[in-house]
Chain A
Amino acid sequence: MAIIAVLGLIIGCFGMADRFIYGHLHTGYGSYMPWGLWVVFYLFFVGLTAGAFLITIMTYVFGVTRLKNVGTLSAFTVLVALMCELIFVSLDLGHFERIYRFIVTPNFSSLMTWFVIFTNLMLIIYLLECFFLIREKLVLWSTENRSGKAFYRLLALGKIEYTAKDRDSDHRIVRLLSIISLPAGLLFYGTNGAFFAILQNRPIWNSAMTPLLFILAALLSGGALITFLISVFHSDDEIARVLGRAVFFILVVFLLLEFIQFFVGYKTGLTSIMTSLDMIVNGPYSWTFWVVHLLVGSLIPLFLFATGINSPKAITWACLLIVVTFVSVRFNFLIPDLAVYKLEGLEQTFSHPRLRTNYTPSVNEWLVSVWIISLGILVFISGIRWLPILSSEKGGLNNG
């Protein structure tokens, strides 16, 4: 996996170089379709951060205390997903160097401002949570005879002794951060949905259901990711079964809400809504909906869950399929609603490729996406290798 990620990083460098030299010149989106592949992936990674959110809900709301053992892995996964999400959205900006404006001249009536605030809140919460979860091991590794001691001491902020009192204190801090992460997570994912829902004249987005769908989509994709990672790295069958049931339930609810969205949309009969929905089910990229999302990402996992709910192998495969195909869900959320002209006749009047609603991601957009995803994978693998993310004695630079 690391080799594939390194290759991806190298290939993606061509796209990154183009992005920094030529800006947005070689991208496929335009003025009537202002957001494209990078925003799709940004939404995808936002969803992947919700694994820890699901773990926290199940631990502190439903009392499944066994899940505390996987807190470190889930917190670290959130940090990696947040990193990828922030890189994607930053590269999508026309003037990245002006992001300081969020601090200097913020507009609090804009949901983008609130989204930036909640993203930073999530970053702080999970950075601290990760730190306090691994601090004991960092201190231990910094005192053992292994290479990289100085690095662990640095990460442990110079602490050389770890007492029972420190352990109690760290556990209390982690518990507090986990509890705070519940409303923070609700605000984060809900704001992400509201960001789209408040827009006028957007047939599918403009609905009270959108923030709710976003929270569910995040729980589904993030929950599936963390379940998959736990199955692979922790080999704890009981945890996998518990989370598998949760992901199964969320998948059913998500598909039900999706069905309601289509049913109500078509029954309403409004041209704008039906045009957007038709673009999903009948448009040039309808295969992403029918094959990728429904068949591979939903029906097959449903079958696996239904027939093998106690089988960790079935759960692992089901969750992997959900995660990998979830990009298509984000794609079919973002693109069709943008692709409906807001004024009839606009498409014929002033001719330019940037003034169309048909969109195909450019090669450059794909290369940049590959670079960022590869970076995310490498950071994740490196963290698993060299940091005490997993509950084992392995790790450290001398075992790298």
Chain B
Amino acid sequence: MARILPGEDLLIRMQRDMKRSLAADRASIKWSMIIDLAKCAGCHACTIGCVAENKLPPGVVYRPVIEEEVGIYPNVRRRFLPRPCMHCQNPPCTKVCPVHATYQNEQGVVVIDYNRCIGCRYCLVACPYSARTSDFGEWYTSDTPNPEGKMVGRAKASESYEAIPATEYGKQWPRRAHDSPVGNARKCHFCLHRVAVGMLPACVTTCVGRATFFGNRSDTQSLISELLGSPRIHRLKEELGTKPSVYYLR
């Protein structure tokens, strides 16, 4: 859509929208994300930012960026599709969880209770977007040698990153052999631990192209609400009736 370039960084605008929503009735908040595919440069900064923010171990990814080449040479280009959890308004995953470990919170975010999840992986199979991954307990540094002497070994290497507890859902999750989140399903949660203190999700702030927008779609004054009126708006797999809260601008 044709717009005059904003006078302020969109992150500042979204931050302001967020503070307004958090100061008002929190029960009426409905978080949504919009990803502008025309601006996404496929840099994968959001993927890595998310991995770093949530201390994701090997094999766990919340927001991969799908790349696709279209056209035939010389009329060829690449297009990119970041795919976080869709936070469906009619989520198929919450219905299949046998122990209510995964559910939709009052703000529309589909969350996982790490202390309740039995690790059956039924929700992974049920998700039509492959948005969930399972933590099998892998370590980046498992094959790093640990010699005595001057070399930095496994212990030091893991201290700098993966031994640091993740802070998902407002708690500390130290990385131990069998304790959660090892053995659990894991997925994007819109960085609720950041949102709770008025910060935007990591993928939004990391995005170099300002292609990812986040906000409360119940707030008619928010940037998200404005963008939801765009004719370019669409969602993935609409025909399934999952009603994602993550939208895309073509």
Contacts and interface: CB of A to CB of B under 8 A. Distances in A.
A329 interface: no
A23 B182 contact: yes
Interface string B158-184: 000000000000000000011010111
B79 to A, nearest CB: 10
A225 B118 CA distance: 33
A199 B128 CA distance: 9
Nearest to A96: B118
Contacts of A27: 136
A105 B119 contact: no
Contacts of A107: 95, 97-100
A372 B97 CA distance: 27
A201 B96 contact: no
A110 B97 contact: yes
A98 B99 contact: yes
Contact of B130 (A104, A106, A346): A346
Interface size class of B (residues with CB under 8 A): 35 or more
Given A23-B183, A353-B59, A112 B120 contact: yes
B41 interface: no
A348 interface: yes
Contacts of A102: 98-99
Given A31-B133, A338-B125, A350-B61, A106 B99 contact: yes
* Residues of A in contact with B, size category: 35 or more
Q: Chain B interface secondary structure, helix, strand, loop or mixed?
A: loop
Nearest to B128: A201
Contact of A110 (B67, B95, B125, B130): B95
A116 interface: yes
B124 to A, nearest CB: 4
B240 A201 contact: yes
Interface in A80-120: 92-96, 98-99, 101-102, 104-107, 109-113, 116
A105 B59 contact: no
B69 to A, nearest CB: 9
B81 A345 contact: yes
Contact of A34 (B64, B83, B95, B124): B124
B66 interface: yes
Interface string B137-150: 11000000000000
Nearest to B241: A200
Contacts of A355: 59, 61, 133
A106 B128 contact: no
A342 interface: yes
A354 B95 CA distance: 25
Nearest to A104: B99
Interface string A35-58: 100000000000000000000000
Given A199-B126, A355-B61, A35 B99 contact: no
A354 B136 contact: yes
Contacts of A95: 117-119, 180, 183-184
A147 to B, nearest CB: 43
B158 to A, nearest CB: 16
A153 interface: no
A353 B61 CA distance: 12
A92 B118 CA distance: 10
Nearest to A341: B130
14 contacts: A25-B138, A31-B124, A35-B121, A35-B125, A93-B183, A98-B99, A105-B100, A107-B100, A198-B96, A200-B126, A200-B242, A343-B81, A350-B61, A354-B133
Given A35-B121, A342-B128, 4 more contacts: A106-B98, A106-B99, A342-B129, A354-B58
Interface of A: 22-25, 27, 30-32, 34-35, 92-96, 98-99, 101-102, 104-107, 109-113, 116, 198-202, 338, 341-346, 348-350, 352-355
